[in-house]
């Protein structure tokens, strides 16, 4: 890239505003957080540079590891479900159905509702004394008495996964549907002529062609799940017994208590994991060359 002609410079003018925006609102806060994480930045103590002090404390902090384990486990369960359901819905909505436009709009509704509000709705559904879930299972005779959905670690975990999948599977649907529509119709027609059945067409023809889109969706969902906060903040606030405290919720609690350095260190570690995952995906998928 030694000498660029005037024409070749032109794209850079166009992306300049975006770059400025990214630097100001994304890069700067990241650097700032990184800097804060190296300080003892506690409101009630003198500020002091402690280099990796916060990180070495974090490594010995059982509460932090617990929240990290929860977050990773949550990703491992929620993201595959979102991908599976999202792709299935996309495949359905890609077919010639009556009222397809209406159905497509319906699928997007959960995605359009702010997380905090949808989490509140789910909280009402799971409520022990007046929730819909208990109303249904007791009236359908599935259970003797009401179930305390958010009371056990497993129950609370499942409740969070369901609420999150409900909300974010439509996002996957949206991306995959766009990918599906870019698959040339002729290819599938050709496969049909060759007597391939529905499953064969989907797995041998369509799926490989939408792989890049799937990877993008996977990347977005993984990173998004890594910083899960709002659903948990509203639904369980980390309970019962701290079993559903995600890493961002853990960081938030420290910010609230006035320990900005420690909270920042948690954020930086989360960022590092997210960044590492992105790099891994990009490398595995080589999607640079494919897109």
Partner 1 sequence: MSFMNLKLLLPLFLAFALAAGCAPEKKELVFAVGGAPSELDEWESVIEDFSREKGIKARLLRQPTDSDQRRQGILIPLKARVRNPDVFLMDIAWIGQFAASGWLEDLNPYINKEGYDLGKFWKNILDSADTFGGELVAMPVYIDAGVLYYRRDLLEKYGVKKVPEHWDEFIAVAARIQEKERAQNPKFFAFVWQGAQYEGLVCDFLEFATMEGGGIGLSGGKIKLDTPANRAAAGLMRDLIFKHKISPPNVFTDMKEEEARLFFQSGNALFERNWPYAWGLHQAGDSPVKGKVGIARIPAFPGRSSVSTLGGWHIGISRFSDAKSEAWEFLKYALSRGTQKKLSLALGWNPARKDVYSDPEVLAKYPHFRALSEVFSGAKSRPQLPYYTQVSDVLQRYLNSAVAAKTDPASAFGSAEKEINAMMERYK
Binding-site size, partner 1 (CB under 8 A): 36
Residue reference for tokens 């995906």: 281
Residue reference for tokens 């949808």: 118
In angstroms, give the least distance from the CB of 42 to partner 1.
7
- 278 binding partner 1? (CB under 8 A): no
Are 251 and 263 within 8 A, CB to CB?
yes
In angstroms, give the least distance from the CB of 8 to partner 1.
24
> CB under 8 A: which stretch of 21-29, 72-80, 193-201, 254-262 binds partner 1?
254-262
Instruction: Sketch the per residue contact string, 36 through 55, with partner 1: x for CB under 8 A, - otherwise.
Output: ------xxxx----------
- 241 binding partner 1? (CB under 8 A): yes
Instruction: Sketch the per residue contact string, 155 through 174, with partner 1: x for CB under 8 A, - otherwise.
Output: -x------------------
d(CA 136, CA 152): 20
Are 86 and 170 within 8 A, CB to CB?
yes
Question: Could you say which of 94, 164, 230, 259 contacts partner 1 (CB under 8 A)?
Answer: 259
d(CA 241, CA 72): 18
Q: Which is nearer to partner 1, 156 or 216 (CB)?
A: 156
The phi and psi torsions of 130 (rounded to 5 degrees) equal -130, 20
In angstroms, give the least distance from the CB of 251 to partner 1.
12
Helices (H), the chain: 6-22, 28-37, 53-59, 62-94, 100-112, 115-126, 132-139, 153-181, 185-193, 198-200, 207-226, 230-235, 247-256, 260-285, 287-290
- DSSP H or E run through 149: none
Identify residues 125-154 at the interface with partner 1 (CB under 8 A).
127-129, 148, 150-151, 153
The phi and psi torsions of 240 (rounded to 5 degrees) equal -75, 140
Interaction site with partner 1 (CB under 8 A): 42-45, 57, 60-63, 123, 127-129, 148, 150-151, 153, 156, 236-243, 245, 253-260, 262
């Amino acid at each position: 890239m030694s000498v660029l002609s005037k024409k070749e410079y032109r794209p850079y003018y166009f992306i300049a505003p975006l770059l400025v925006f990214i630097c100001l609102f994304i890069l700067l806060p990241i650097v700032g957080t990184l800097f804060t994480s190296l300080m003892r930045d506690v409101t009630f103590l003198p500020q002091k540079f402690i280099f990796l002090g916060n990180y070495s404390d974090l490594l010995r902090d059982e509460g932090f590891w617990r929240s990290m384990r929860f977050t990773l486990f949550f990703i491992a369960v929620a993201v595959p479900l979102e991908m599976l359901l999202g792709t299935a819905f996309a495949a359905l909505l890609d077919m010639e159905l009556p009222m397809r436009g209406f159905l497509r709009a319906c699928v997007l509704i959960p995605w359009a509702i702010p997380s905090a509000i949808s989490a509140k709705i789910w909280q009402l559904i799971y409520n022990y004394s007046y929730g819909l879930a208990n109303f249904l299972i007791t009236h359908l005779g599935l259970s003797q008495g009401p179930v305390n959905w958010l009371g056990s670690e497993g129950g609370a975990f499942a409740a969070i996964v369901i609420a999150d999948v409900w909300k974010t599977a439509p996002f996957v649907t949206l991306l995959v549907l766009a990918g599906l529509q870019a698959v040339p119709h002729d290819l599938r027609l050709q496969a049909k002529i060759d007597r391939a059945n529905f499953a064969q067409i989907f797995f041998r023809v369509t799926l490989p062609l939408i792989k890049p889109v799937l990877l993008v969706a996977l990347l977005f969902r993984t990173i998004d799940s890594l910083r899960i906060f709002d659903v948990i903040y509203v639904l369980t606030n980390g309970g019962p017994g701290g079993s559903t405290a995600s890493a961002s919720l853990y960081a938030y609690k420290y910010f609230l208590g006035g320990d900005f350095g420690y909270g920042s260190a948690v954020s930086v570690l989360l960022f590092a994991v997210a960044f590492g995952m992105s790099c891994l995906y990009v490398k595995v998928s080589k999607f640079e060359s494919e897109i």
